[in-house]
Homo-oligomer: A and B are copies of this chain.
Amino acid sequence: MTTISIIGSGNMARAIGTRAAEHGHTVEILSRNATAAQDLAAQIGHGATVGTFGADPAGDIVFVAVLYQGAVEAVQHFGEALAGKTLVDISNPFNADASGIVTTPGDSIAHRIAAVSPADTHVIKAFNTIFGGVIAGDAPLDVFFAGDGTEAKAGFAAFLESLNLQPRDAGGLGMAHALEWAGILLVGLANNGAGFDVAFKAEVR
């Protein structure tokens, strides 16, 4: 079991943090809003802690679980404190009516985070294609992810497996944009009959 850090205190931070804590990991919450961080750590329980926003995260895997508009700034604020970490970008850069995304190929939010991260930090895009309410349960789920860095991805995949999640590697960081579009597709399916308990699976036939 390990320690993971989560930057953010919203629904996705709660969903991922709760699932991790219930599978024996120690969760550290990092938020600009100290009260929200304390509340979330208390909700998560299982020894969850509150760290100092901008200081060295306790975990080797650090989730950037803030809205996409603030993700790059948050990472910049941590700066060198993120050196050597595996940063997990879970953002969905949806436009106003979730009909499309505000990013372009080669310039996903994951790319933008990588651009402002220390040189030895590895960025992985993941969890943006699963609804928070689905993550929070204990159902086995597929997690699509993309990123560069073989070792970082192997470590992330092992973490996923410890959460009863099936790692599904989609390729290098270039695939992050495809994952951002998959977030749109998920909402489209949910809004047109599948409902918001739907989850993607990559089923081997």
Q: Is the CB of A146 closer than 8 A to any CB of chain B?
A: yes
Whether the Cβ atoms of A201 and B201 lie closer than 8 Å is: yes
Known: A170-B188, A177-B181. A204 touches B200 (CB 8 A): no
Whether the Cβ atoms of A205 and B137 lie closer than 8 Å is: yes
Q: Is the CB of A182 closer than 8 A to any CB of chain B?
A: yes
Tally A residues with Cβ within 8 Å of B: 39
Write out, one digit per residue, whether chain A residues 149-186 have a CB within 8 A of any chain B CB (1) or not (0). Answer: 00000000000000000001111001101110110110
Q: Is the CB of A141 closer than 8 A to any CB of chain B?
A: yes
In the assembled complex, the CB of A16 is this many whole angstroms from the nearest CB of chain B, namely 16
Whether the Cβ atoms of B194 and A202 lie closer than 8 Å is: yes
In the assembled complex, the CB of A202 is this many whole angstroms from the nearest CB of chain B, namely 5
Choose among B168, B181, B198 the residue that contacts A204 (Cβ–Cβ < 8 A). B198
Whether the Cβ atoms of B204 and A195 lie closer than 8 Å is: yes
Whether the Cβ atoms of B192 and A199 lie closer than 8 Å is: no
Bound-complex Cα distance A11 to B154 (A): 35
Most B C-beta atoms less than 10 A away, residue of A100, A134, A177, A202: A202
Whether the Cβ atoms of B192 and A182 lie closer than 8 Å is: no
Bound-complex Cα distance A197 to B99 (A): 30
Q: Can you show 8 pairs from A to B with CB atoms below 8 A apart? A: A99-B174, A100-B177, A137-B205, A139-B205, A168-B189, A178-B185, A179-B185, A198-B202
| A-B complex: 5 closest residue pairs judged by Cβ atoms | A181-B181, A170-B188, A169-B192, A201-B201, A171-B188
Additional A-B contacts beyond A146-B188, A168-B193, A170-B192 (6; CB < 8 A):
A100-B106, A100-B178, A178-B184, A181-B182, A199-B203, A201-B202
